[in-house]
Chains A and B, each alone.
Chain A
Amino acid sequence: DTEVTQTPKHLVMGMTNKKSLKCEQHMGHRAMYWYKQKAKKPPELMFVYSYEKLSINESVPSRFSPECPNSSLLNLHLHALQPEDSALYLCASSQLLDRPYEQYFGPGTRLTVT
């Protein structure tokens, strides 16, 4: 199983809503990532978890709150978002953080903030 799954595929939310994005992998990977991608731009790293601990936070606003409940799951909690936060949110995983392993990406959640 080399799949990373993400739910939901699409999400429309208002600026006062609270929602969560979910990501799951069963490859035994110990590093998991959240990226944000705008149209025609490369992915921008948001957060990195290594062994379920937050390893990297790329100065992301506090309206984005990551959570790693266990080694297979990664959540991104959203609250009071802005329209400019509309983007494709990608989850990825890799075998380990401090080794040059490829990252496997989920299909993404297309988020629209109204």
Chain B
Amino acid sequence: GQNIDQPTEMTATEGAIVQINCTYQTSGFNGLFWYQQHAGEAPTFLSYNVLDGLEEKGRFSSFLSRSKGYSYLLLKELQMKDSASYLCALLSNYQLIWGAGTKLIIKP
């Protein structure tokens, strides 16, 4: 079966850096996605890893270690608009398995 764990909530300060971790177990790995979701809105795609290593996209980076079943999303130069839920989603047998999401609260 599949299992995904990520912290329920995190708090960070505007301008700082935050790392949101995601661990998973799966029998069929096709990729690991990160989505951002503001309250009441649809998820929007942030990043995707299929090979080990770091993928950088502006202020956002995502890291994957397949051998450890571990990924993280790194957000730099935090802005108030980054307050949202961040969902880790495992692509397993070409179906997305969603983590419960991490609610990120940004304080001034």
What residues of chain A have their CB less than 8 Å away from a CB belonging to chain B? 40-43, 45, 48, 56, 88, 90, 97-100, 102-108, 110
CB-CB under 8 A from B96, the residues of chain A are 45, 103
Docked complex Cα distance between A110 and B41 (Å):
10
Contact A42 B42, CB 8 Å, known A100-B30, A102-B33, A103-B96: no
Partner of A56, one of B48, B87, B89, B95: B95
Stretch at the interface among B63-71, B73-81, B97-105: B97-105
Partner of A108, one of B30, B42, B50: B42
Q: B5 to nearest A CB, angstroms?
A: 12
CB-CB under 8 A from A108, the residues of chain B are 41-42
B7 adjacent to chain A (CB < 8 Å): no
Q: List 14 A-B contacts (CB under 8 A).
A: A42-B87, A43-B98, A45-B95, A48-B95, A99-B94, A100-B31, A100-B91, A100-B94, A103-B96, A104-B45, A105-B42, A107-B41, A108-B41, A108-B42
CB-CB under 8 A from A98, the residues of chain B are 94
Docked complex Cα distance between A103 and B33 (Å):
10
B53 adjacent to chain A (CB < 8 Å): no
How many A-B pairs have beta carbons closer than 8 Å: the answer is: 42
The winner among A97, A102, A105 for most chain B CB atoms within 10 A is: A102
Beta-carbon contact of B100 and A100 below 8 Å: no
Partner of A43, one of B43, B45, B91: B43
Docked complex Cα distance between A108 and B41 (Å):
7
Q: B26 to nearest A CB, angstroms?
A: 13
Chain B residue at smallest Cβ distance from A4: B42
Q: B46 to nearest A CB, angstroms?
A: 9
CB-CB under 8 A from A104, the residues of chain B are 45
